């Protein structure tokens, strides 16, 4: 609130604003500038008219033999002109007021001794304190006021002397000094009011400005927040998943449109009701016990699959995530539930599994029959076969083996890609595992007249990892080495234990992998361009599976290869040494 | 003479089994499904049972479960010979008490005969 001082200052300030701004020559606005110019002209006009009359009157008084009166009038006229000049030329209020006050002080002294025109000096002197204290700051103004007061007191004292220098009597001077003090006091008060009022106004202004800035910022923040909230709301409203907010008891406070779409319940059905009475309550009791235990007692997120029911009664499978939102006291404020209808995905997954099973069983059964009958003919009836028939049967048998191999690889890929590979860690002897592999591969090694070097330490104790996957890895690499090495080649297998890793390297003297194709080595269906021409047999899945199996066992594999010189594959698989059982 | 009861619903594979096991001096009885296994067991006590898993009427898992929970038959060794090759099938059959598990397409028939003989000896 404005105090009286502030109000007074404001009024005064408004009046003097134009003048000050004109003096400080800080007028930028053309419209205002024009207004000031008009005022300036008026001021000039009045000053010149005033000065003109004062000069005329002053000079006529001098001529009429009243030089002091005349001089006073001329001084007044001069003050008008000098001030005007200083204001115009320097634009400096301080200098102008100093000169002004000094001249007025001088006039005051002259007026005290000569009384002015028709003894008006007495009145003019009363005008000095308000003028001095309004034009100068109190302290400086008081010097001028005090100076004139000292002269008044001096004149008063001298009025008792035999030769008084003032035209006024002692009583008049006494009254003058009293009224001078009263006017000074009133002026000082108003001046003080002006100064403090200004400070107060500045403070109020600053506070108001700060308040305005704060409000502005708050408004912006509120706008931002509102926009952001709107964004969130839009996101939730248009989300492709069911989103529900409930109170700590599970009563639904909000449900997005997708909820209605998935469950078939209307907003009226949903609001304030518990999910159990709508789409839930399709699972066994222990499931819900575990669910509430998790979110309400442990205050942790629950993620799981749940069977729900639509309004029509149709069941569906949903993946749910329910998160408790806690306040600062760690109390549950509400729950946020996000559900996704995964019925279709589950169905597809199921179909995929069925397909794998179908391929696995239905394709392998006739392949087994071909294999076995071919084998029966080759082994049990070989004496009745011609050489040609034997050869043809062998072709059938081997092609069938390739087919079985392809089916097995495709099954493995399907399992890997659907994350269905189960790593079955067991304790086993690496030596036994390798010798079994070599027995299976003996025929193909002999057929190509390769020399096999085997370096495996008999000291390696039983290890723990997945023997099937490891066997698959070694078999696949070794089969490739045998296949892609020209006859009479050398194949070297080295197996050792380094700290807690089994390190296996398999080298051959084969065709090698061209450098520009080496980065594709472990890609699905990759076959080197140099071997495709030589060996038509091969599906490009073996090394892809090797890499995948090694990944499953957290191992690493790398190779070095030179065309027509050979390839060395080295892989490392972390294992645990089984100290509980003796070596097999 | 060694006696084998083979449960296999595929007629070609049954035929191959019969030929191969007969050649290897086995007395062979063939069943087309699990029900038939128990019917045959009423009159025939094999040294080993070769059991397929996917069969009509009563499948291999069910048959295996019943065999191993039956005091009369639980001592007869069972080798599962199936084309189901997933780890969970293998583990399930193991848990039900089979003495061996063979993926048919991965082995020659003489390997199956060898396995049957091994199991008989071990028993």
Q: Apex CA A76: angle with CA A73 and CA A80, to 5°?
A: 145
Which SS3 state, helix, strand or coil, does residue A498 take? strand
Task: Please give the interface size between A and B, counted as residue pairs whose CB atoms are below 8 Å apart.
Answer: 67
- How confident is the model at residue A43, as a pLDDT? 61
| Residue A497 phi, psi (nearest 5) | -115, 125
Helix, strand and coil percent figures for chain A, each rounded to 5: 60, 15, 25
Candidate from B20, B23, B88 with C-beta closest to A422: B88
Does B108 sit within 8 Å of A371, measured CB to CB? yes
Q: Measure A368 CA to nearest chain B CA, in Å.
A: 4
* Separation in Å, CA of B86 to nearest CA in chain A: 8
Rg, chain B, Cα only: 13
| pTM given for the model | 0.51
Using CA atoms, how far apart are residues A353 and A332, in angstroms rounded to an integer? 41
Q: Which residue has the tokens 């063979």?
A: B102
- CA separation for the pair B84, B73 (Å, rounded): 24
On chain B, the residues whose CB falls within 8 A of the CB of A411 are 85
A372 contacts B83? CB cut-off 8 A:
no
- The span from the CA of A566 to the CA of A485, in Å, is 8
Residues 34-53 of B with CB under 8 A from A: none
The list of chain A residues with pLDDT below 70 reads 1-44, 46, 86-88, 90-93, 117, 357, 360, 535-536, 580-584
Given this model, what pLDDT does residue A408 score? Answer: 83
- Determine contact: B102 vs chain A, CB below 8 A: no
**Nearest to B21, CA basis, from A372, A400, A440:** A372
Q: Is B86 on the interface with A (CB under 8 A)?
A: yes
Cross-chain residue pair B105–A367, CB shorter than 8 Å: yes
- Determine whether the interchain pair B110/A379 forms a contact, defined as Cβ–Cβ distance below 8 Å: yes
Residues in chain A with CB shorter than 8 Å from the CB of B20 are 372, 376, 380
Q: Are strands A576-577 and B48-51 parallel, antiparallel or unpaired?
A: unpaired
The H-or-E segment that residue A37 falls in is helix A30-63
**CB within 8 Å: A375 and B110:** yes
Q: Give the CA angle between residues A401, A384, A369 to the nearest 5°.
A: 30
Mean residue pLDDT of chain A comes to 82
pLDDT at A26: 47
Using DSSP's 3-state secondary structure scheme, residue A311 falls into coil
HSE-up of residue A234 (Cα within 13 Å, Cβ side): 6
Q: How far is B81 from chain A (nearest CA, A)?
A: 11
Which tens digits make up the pLDDT trace of B89-107?
888 888 888 888 998 988 8
Mutate to test the interface with A, among B14, B59, B83, B112 (most CBs of A within 10 A): B83
Shortest Cα distance, chain B CAs vs residue A292, angstroms: 32
SS3 A551: helix
Give the span between the Cα atoms of A133 and A144, in whole angstroms: 9
Q: Using an 8 Å Cβ cutoff, are A83 and A100 in contact?
A: yes
Output DSSP code: residue B105.
Answer: G
Closest Cα partner for B80 from B41, B43, B107? B107
Cα–Cα distance, A316 to A310 (Å, whole number): 7
Residue A402: how many other CB atoms lie within 10 Å:
12
If phi > 0 it is left, if psi is from -120 to 50 it is alpha, else beta; for residue A241 that is: beta
Nearest by CB to B85, from A376, A411, A421: name it: A411
Contact yes or no for B84 and A360 at CB 8 A: yes
**Is B105 close to A376, i.e. CB distance below 8 A?**
no
Closest Cα partner for B24 from B42, B6, B38? B6
Q: What is the mean pLDDT of residues B46-73?
A: 89
* pLDDT score recorded for residue A362: 81
Instruction: Give A-chain residues touching B10 at CB under 8 angstroms.
Output: 365, 369
With both helix axes pointing from N to C terminus, report the angle between A4-23 and A170-237 in degrees, rounded to the nearest 10: 90
Contacts 24+ apart (CB under 8 A), B57-61: B57/B33, B58/B33, B58/B34, B59/B33, B59/B34, B60/B7, B60/B34, B60/B93, B61/B92, B61/B93, B61/B96
Answer whether B24 touches A (CB < 8 Å): no
**Closest of A403, A415, A6 to residue A192, by C-alpha:** A6
pLDDT of residue B83: 87
Residues of B in contact with A357 (CB under 8 A): 84
A342 burial class (0-12, 13-18, 19+ CB within 10 angstroms)? Answer: middle
DSSP single-letter state for residue A535:
-
B20 to chain A: closest CA residue: A376
Torsion over CA: B42, B43, B49, B54 (sign): negative
* Token pair 């009045």: residue: A46
- Whether the predicted pLDDT of B108 surpasses 70: yes
The tokens for B19 are: 């030929």
Residue pair B5/B50 in contact (Cβ under 8 Å)? The answer is yes
Structure tokens at A110: 């002259």
pLDDT value for A13: 53
ipTM: 0.89
Coil vs helix vs strand at A290: helix
C-alpha closest to that of A122 among A173, A188, A79:
A173
How far is A503 from chain B, CA to nearest CA, in Å? Answer: 26
Taking only the tens place, the pLDDT of each residue in A25-63 is 444 455 555 555 655 666 667 677 778 878 888 888 888
Spatial contact of A561 and A513, defined as CB atoms under 8 Å apart: yes
Distance from CA of B53 to the nearest CA of A (A): 10
Q: Which of A212-226, A277-291, B5-19, B59-73 has the lowest mean pLDDT?
A: A277-291
Q: B19: which chain A residues are within 8 Å (Cβ-Cβ)?
A: 376, 380
pLDDT value of position A370: 93
Partner-chain contact B83 A380, CB within 8 Å: no
At A209 the pLDDT is: 85
Interface of A with B (CB under 8 A): 356-357, 360-361, 364-369, 371-373, 375-376, 379-380, 404, 407-408, 411, 415, 420-422, 424, 468
Amino acid A489: pLDDT: 92
Please name which of A326, A310, A327 lies closest in space to residue A318, comparing C-alpha atoms: A310
């Amino acid at each position: 609130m404005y105090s009286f001082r502030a109000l007074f200052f404001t009024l005064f300030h408004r009046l003097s604003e134009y003048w000050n701004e004109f003096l400080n020559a800080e007028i930028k606005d053309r419209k205002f500038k024009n207004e000031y110019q008009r005022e300036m002209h008026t001021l000039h006009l009045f000053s010149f008219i005033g000065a003109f009359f004062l000069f005329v009157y002053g000079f006529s008084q001098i001529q009429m033999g009243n030089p002091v009166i005349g001089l006073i009038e001329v001084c007044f006229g001069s003050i008008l002109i000098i001030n005007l000049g200083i204001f115009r030329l320097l634009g400096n209020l301080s200098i102008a007021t100093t000169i002004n006050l000094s001249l007025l002080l001088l006039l005051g002294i002259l007026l005290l001794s000569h009384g002015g025109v028709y003894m008006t000096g007495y009145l003019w002197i009363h005008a000095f304190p308000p003028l001095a204290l309004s034009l100068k700051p109190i302290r400086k103004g008081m010097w001028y006021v005090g100076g004139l007061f000292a002269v008044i007191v001096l004149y008063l004292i001298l009025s008792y002397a035999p030769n008084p220098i003032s035209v006024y009597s002692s009583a008049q001077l006494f009254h003058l000094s009293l009224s001078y003090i009263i006017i000074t006091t009133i002026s000082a008060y108003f001046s003080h009011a002006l100064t403090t009022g200004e400070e107060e106004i500045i403070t109020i202004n600053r506070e108001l400005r700060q308040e305005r800035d704060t409000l502005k910022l708050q408004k912006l923040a509120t706008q931002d927040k509102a926009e952001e909230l709107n964004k969130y709301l839009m996101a939730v409203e248009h989300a492709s998943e069911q989103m529900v907010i409930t109170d700590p008891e599970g009563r639904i406070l909000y449900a997005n449109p997708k909820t209605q779409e998935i469950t078939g319940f209307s907003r009226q059905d949903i609001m304030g009701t518990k999910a159990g009475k709508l789409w839930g309550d399709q699972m066994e009791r222990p499931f819900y016990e575990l669910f509430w235990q998790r979110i309400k007692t442990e205050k942790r997120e629950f993620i799981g699959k749940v069977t729900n029911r639509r309004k029509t009664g149709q069941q569906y499978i949903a993946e749910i995530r329910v998160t408790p939102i806690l306040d600062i006291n760690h109390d549950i404020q509400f729950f946020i539930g996000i559900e996704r209808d995964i019925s279709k995905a589950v169905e597809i997954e199921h179909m995929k599994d069925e397909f794998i099973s179908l391929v696995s069983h239905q394709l392998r059964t006739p392949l087994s029959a071909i294999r076995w009958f071919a084998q029966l003919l080759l082994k049990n009836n070989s004496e009745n076969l011609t050489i040609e028939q034997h050869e043809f049967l062998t072709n059938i048998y081997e092609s069938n083996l390739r087919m079985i191999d392809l089916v097995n690889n495709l099954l493995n890929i399907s399992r890997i890609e659907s994350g269905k590979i189960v790593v079955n860690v067991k304790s086993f002897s690496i030596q036994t595992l390798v010798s079994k592999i070599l027995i299976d591969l003996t025929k193909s090694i002999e057929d190509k007249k390769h020399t096999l070097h085997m370096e495996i330490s008999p000291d390696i104790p039983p290890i723990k990892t997945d023997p099937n996957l490891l066997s698959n890895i070694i078999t696949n690499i070794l089969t490739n080495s045998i296949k892609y090495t020209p006859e009479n080649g050398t194949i070297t297998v080295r197996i050792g234990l380094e700290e807690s890793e089994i390190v296996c390297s398999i080298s051959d003297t084969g065709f090698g992998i061209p450098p520009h194709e080496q980065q594709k080595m472990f890609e699905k269906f990759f076959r080197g361009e140099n071997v495709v021409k030589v060996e038509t047999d091969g599906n490009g899945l073996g090394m892809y599976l090797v890499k995948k199996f090694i990944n499953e066992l957290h191992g690493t594999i790398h190779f070095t290869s030179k065309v027509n010189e050979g390839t060395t594959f080295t892989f490392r698989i972390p294992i645990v040494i089984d100290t509980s059982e003796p070596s097999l | 003479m060694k006696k084998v009861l083979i449960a296999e619903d595929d007629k070609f594979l049954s035929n191959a089994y019969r030929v191969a096991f007969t050649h290897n001096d086995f007395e062979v009885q063939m069943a087309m499904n699990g029900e038939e296994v128990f019917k045959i067991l009423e009159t025939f006590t094999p040294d080993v049972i070769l059991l397929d898993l996917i069969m009509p009427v009563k499948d291999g898992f069910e048959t295996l479960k019943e065999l191993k929970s039956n005091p009369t038959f639980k001592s007869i060794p069972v080798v599962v010979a199936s084309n189901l090759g997933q780890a969970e099938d293998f583990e399930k059959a193991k848990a039900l008490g089979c003495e061996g598990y063979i993926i048919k397409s991965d082995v020659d028939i003489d390997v199956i005969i060898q396995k049957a003989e091994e199991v008989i000896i071990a028993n």
